[in-house]
Amino acid sequence: MTVLQAPAAGITDGHAGLARATWHDTGVDDRALVDAVLDGDRDAFRLLVEREQRVVYRACLRILGRPHDAEDVAQEAFVMAYRSIASYRGDGPLGGWLLRIATRQAFRRLRQRRETSELGSALVLNAPGADPLAAALADERQRAVRLAVASLGEPYREVVALRFFGEMSLDEIAATTHRPVNTVKTHLRRGLERLRPVLGAEAVA
């Protein structure tokens, strides 16, 4: 329980240069959390999972559209993060690092799903009892959004996914992807430009 008793909020002992306010500001520094996990403190990793699972799961669900798949991929992403946590350099938010792993994994799963011709939409997000026609149209629209984002090339896809599906700010994306903020802005703009024919007002109309 090293981390749970650790001093709070962006203050680390011995890692002053790496100290950052955590993404969700839960009072535990990212670097201290990672060091605790590397020291064998599994409770520290549980804390990380509890802290980030909501955002990671939602991002996966937004990419995949299926709760069951999203849950599987979120779990895989956490396990992958645990195994490679030593590669976290500490120069970006830990949540962003995790989200990056999760979104990549989710896009990979989506591609595999498409390769196995599971193209049928299965989003169970429409309210039960809603008009079937409206539900079907909404379902189709959501599927179009997912496919449009998934069909973007890198790095636009990653930036759009982190911004809209991971709900990260551009500064956080820049820190996570080790790119200048202006580059991230450009990538987001170009990504949206590519999405406009599919998702724009004219496409909706």
Partner 1 sequence: MSRRPFDPGEIDRDATDLESAANELERYAALTATATPRDLDDRVMAAVERDPVPRRGVLGRLGWPALAAPMGRLGRVAVLAAALVLVVGGVMAAGELARIIRDASIGGPSSSPTESFVPSASPSEEASPSASESESPTDSIDGSASPEPSGTPRSSEESGGASVTPEEQQTESPSVTASPTPKASQTSTPEETSTPTP
Alpha carbons 104 and 87: distance in angstroms, whole number: 16
Among 2-10, 12-20, 50-58, 105-113, the segment contacting partner 1 (CB under 8 A): 50-58
Tokens of 76: 């895989």
Q: Which of 14, 108, 167, 180 binds partner 1 (CB under 8 A)?
A: 167
Tell me which of 28, 44, 61, 174 binds partner 1, using CB under 8 A: 61
Written as six digits, the tokens of 35 are: 């060091």
Between CA 188 and CA 177 the distance in angstroms is 13
CA angle 178, 88, 80 (to 5 degrees): 115
Task: Sketch the per residue contact string, 121 through 140, with partner 1: x for CB under 8 A, - otherwise.
Answer: ----x---------------
132-150 and 94-115 are packed helices; what angle lies between their axes, rounded to 10 degrees?
A: 110
Binds partner 1 by CB under 8 A, chosen from 23, 107, 156, 165: 165
Find the binder of partner 1 among 135, 145, 147, 150 (CB under 8 A). 145
Planar angle of CA 151, 157, 163, nearest 5 degrees: 135
Residue 178 touches partner 1, criterion: CB under 8 A: no
C-alpha distance from residue 159 to each of 49, 106, 123, 177 (Å): 23, 14, 23, 9
Interface with partner 1 (CB under 8 A), residue from 2, 15, 18, 58: 58
Binding site for partner 1 (CB under 8 A): 37-40, 42, 45-46, 49-50, 53-54, 57-58, 61-62, 67, 71, 74-75, 78-80, 82-87, 125, 142, 145-146, 149, 160, 163-165, 167-170, 182, 185, 188-189, 192-193, 195-196, 198-201, 204
